[in-house]
Structure 1
Amino acid sequence: FSNVSSSMSALSGTCSILKVPCYTDSPLYPRHFRRASSNSNHASRAPNLRTIVSARHPKRPRNSSDQLPVAQRTITKLVELPVIPIGSYISSHPSIIHRLDPRLKQAWLAALLLFPPNGTSEEKLLVCLFLTLLIAVVLPSRSWRPQLTGVASIVASLFLLVFIGADGVLPAAHSREPNYSYEGLEYLQRLEGSYGYMLWHYGPIQITRKSVDLAIGASCLTFTILQSTFLILCTTTPEEMAKGVRWYLRPLSLVRVPTDEIAFSMLMSLRFTAIVFEEMRNLSLGLIARGIDWNSLGWRGITGLLGALTSRMIESLFNSSWAVSAAITSRGYLKATKLQSHMPEARDARGLCMNLASILLLCAFAGFFEV
């Protein structure tokens, strides 16, 4: 509540500077909301988020001019974001991938990004299907379903865009060869199963085999990047991720590359990602509490207000980073090279067998796409 109150006070100053019309003299709730008396039989219900958002905008007929502004709908979606960001480590559902060595996980991540683009379209689709099934088995459904929905919408939009626009523009120059009608080739019967470069053609839009291959390749690569990164982040702690990166970057220390500082910066960025989500939610709650009339602002007022809020959020993030660094320094931190991680390592026979099996599968995966 202290963060929300501070954000509201900051927003009041920002709105006063920018001369933003706000509803401060009247309550946030519409007039037909009344408190239930103590003698009433029905208990009073607390208004939900949509009631607070639409407090100054009562329901009207759904016309194009009566819809909520885009800025208000965007802020409402920001408030509805989860407190824990997507891609955080999940320890409540342990699996075999949780027990693998983090260096092997990062090697698998690099292999999934490098080798499938060399395969055919069917092989790329099989990799995406296998990755989806693996995520569904390893992670709980409440964590991967919202993320999969968003990724599927992004991949579908990219597929349609590349599918239509990759080879959809007709060439400006005409062929120098004579038309096939002059040779009498148009009367030849088309053979079944013959190769055809053009799949569909209508006006200036054409769909060819090249556009299909490019669309499948781009969408599968995007899906593989997002889902494999999501799986690695959900099954690996930030300390293990930093430890693996530090091990891979160790040869660069011979040329005086600050590998320890890079690994430590990665650890801190993974640990404090939730602070960014928290600041966004606090600013959005402050905007909702102010009850800003977005229709009277115009695009210039909205742009100025969003710019001021962005600078306020960046300033708050810098203050939080300074507080974190001061807390770390006060606890005896001197240098990243002197930092030692104390994590239990899996040295039993079962863990070694799983790591060896993962190495063999990785070699087979790389050899399959290189042949």
Structure 2
Amino acid sequence: MDLLRSLPLGLYLEQPITWMHRLDPRVKLAWLMSFLATPLLASAEWRLLLVGVLIVLTLASRIPLRVWRQQMGWLLLLAVYVFSLVAIAPDGLSVEPRPRLPENELAFVQQPNTVPKPAPPQSWFNPFQAAPKEQTQLANQLKRPELRQPTDYQYVVFQRGPIRVTRRSLDLAIRVGTLLFTLIYSTNLFLLTTAPEEVTAGLEDLMRPLRRFNIPVTEVALTLTLSLRFIPLVLEEFQNLIRSIRTRAINWKKLGFRRTIQVCLSVAERLLQNLLLRAEQIASAMKVRGFTSPNQHRVEWHQLILKRFDWLALVVLGGFWAARLAFG
């Protein structure tokens, strides 16, 4: 199962058990939805604050360094890379419009009614010849007077050579980078401290009012539980097939494109057959144990009871949303 241990995201940390493990899964689902919903239409300061809150929660929960360094490190590098790429990209507002009307309409109206005589034609054309004095004076009159900037506001934040960072590109870079980190890492932190059975139990409890509309909530929760349990089996079968191919020492360069495709199709067929066999074994095991319907054979892995620490987390969540509405 080396493939499962090498995956950096989406793993459940069994040991050590931190205070985030002891939280009720419904409370953690509420916090997760809050982290996913509050960045919408939020300011850049609030988005940066969310990133800081996630990092502080990771450090305060005393998750081992080997775990969050592998999961948070690459994600931070990806967020910084996206931030720098979007910051130096064109913001779309640097297009120079050309007005149809004169720049200085007052000077244009005050021109004399008599049209100046055209310059005599030259015997030969010289593109580098300077313009006549009358045309230069007329162009100077029609220019709009330069106004001094009343404040220290600058649209261009940084510019050196071809690299140009504007206020709009900087704001867009902060939004994209922080949103990428918040969406991925908040979900990963939830899966890191919540067992798959707790996730399904919390979802089933929160979806209980949907039973009034004849929605099979228990069947949905059971299907989700089986799918979460089936993912490691899929990865294990895939890893076993890869190891079987490596032991045969196939020379892919001599096979050619056509034979390589045939080998890949045969491996995919074998993988599908093994997965169907595993699914049939799980179904047979459920039938042997007398499983007929989820409502009659419910297995409670966890008793969902809100404790004192859970209520404290809900109170902090209320303050979190109040701060978002007031300052975010």
Regarding TM over 0.5, the answer is: yes
Query: Which consecutive residues of structure 1, in runs of 5 or more, have no partner in the other structure?
Result: 1-78
What's the CA shift for 1:228? 1.4
Question: Equivalent residue for 2:30?
Answer: 107
Deviations 1:227-265 (A, max 9, x none): 111221121222211111011212222222221111111
The residue that corresponds to 1:193 in the other structure is 152
Q: 2:303 matched to 1:369?
A: no
**Structure 2 residue aligned with 1:356:** 311
Q: Which region of structure 1 is more displaced relative to structure 2, 206-215 or 360-369?
A: 206-215
**Which secondary structure does the structure 2 equivalent of 1:96 belong to?**
coil
Matches within 5 A, 1:54-133: 81-83=3-5, 86-133=9-56
TM-score (norm 1): 0.67
Residue 299 of structure 1 deviates from its aligned partner by 5.3
Indicate conservation of the 8 Å contact 1:168/1:206, yes or no: no
Cα deviation, residue 305, structure 1: 3.9
Q: 1:42-61 maps to which residues of 2 (within 5 A)?
A: none
Query: CA-to-partner distance for each residue in 1:133-163, whole Å, 9 max, x for gaps?
Result: 3223422222222222332343344334433
C-alpha deviation, 1:364, in angstroms: 0.8
- The structural deviation recorded for 1:212 is 2.1
Q: Report if the CA contact (8 A) 1:260-1:336 is conserved.
A: yes
User: Is 1:152 paired with 2:76?
Assistant: yes
1:222 corresponds to which residue?
180
Residue 189 of structure 1 deviates from its aligned partner by 5.7
Partner SS, residue 147 of structure 1: helix
Corresponding residue to 2:190 among 232, 243, 264: 232
Note closer, same or farther for the CA distance 1:81–1:168 as it changes in structure 2 (3 Å cut).
farther
Residue aligning to 1:213: 171
CA contact (8 A) 2:27 2:313 kept: yes
Alignment partner of 1:292 is 2:215: no
Equivalent residues of 1:117, 1:124 under 8 A apart = no
1:64-95: per-residue Cα shift (whole Å, max 9, x none)? xxxxxxxxxxxxxxx96344754333232122
The superposition leaves residues 86-123 of structure 1 with CA deviations (integer Å, 9 ceiling, x where unpaired) of 43332321222111111110010000000133332222
> CA distance change for structure 1 residues 166 and 367 in 2, over 3 Å: closer, same or farther?
farther
Query: Is the aligned partner of 1:279 residue 2:237?
Result: yes
Other-structure match for 2:120: none
| Partner Cα distance (2:304, 2:203) in 1 | 18
Aligned residue number for residue 5 of structure 1 = none
- Contact preservation (8 Å) 2:198, 2:302: no
Taking structure 1 as reference, are residues 179 and 112 closer, same or farther at Cα in structure 2, changes over 3 Å only?
Answer: farther
Query: Please, which of 209, 222, 240 is the counterpart of residue 251 of structure 1?
Result: 209
State the 1:345 CA deviation.
3.9
Change (3 A) 1:122 1:99: same
Cα distance in structure 1, aligned partners of 2:262 and 2:90: 38
Pick closer, same or farther for the CA change 1:246–1:213 going to 2, 3 Å. Answer: same
TM-score, structure 2 normalization:
0.74
| RMSD across aligned positions (CA) | 3.2
Rg: which structure is higher? Answer: 2
Distance change in 2, residues 1:292/1:223 (3 Å): same
Question: Structure 1 residues 352 and 199, CA, compared in 2 at 3 Å: closer, same or farther?
Answer: same
Dislocated runs of 4+, deviation >6 Å: 177-181
Percent identity of equivalent pairs: 29
Aligned partner letter, 1:154 = L
1:183 counterpart residue number: 144
Confirm or deny: 8 A CA contact 1:84 1:274 kept in the other structure: no
2: distance between equivalents of 1:262 and 1:251? Answer: 14
Aligned residues: 286
Q: Which residue of 1 aligns with 2:294?
A: 336
Q: Residue 162 in 1 paired to residue 86 in 2?
A: yes
Q: What amino acid does structure 1 have at the position aligned with 2:46?
A: E
Distance in 2 of aligned mates of 1:240 and 1:258:
19
CA distance in 1, matches of 2:77, 2:254: 33
Pair 1:301–1:128, CA change in 2 (3 A): farther
**Is the CA contact (8 Å cut-off) linking 1:167 and 1:206 kept in structure 2?**
no
| Whole-angstrom CA distance in 1 between matches of 2:27 and 2:177 | 26
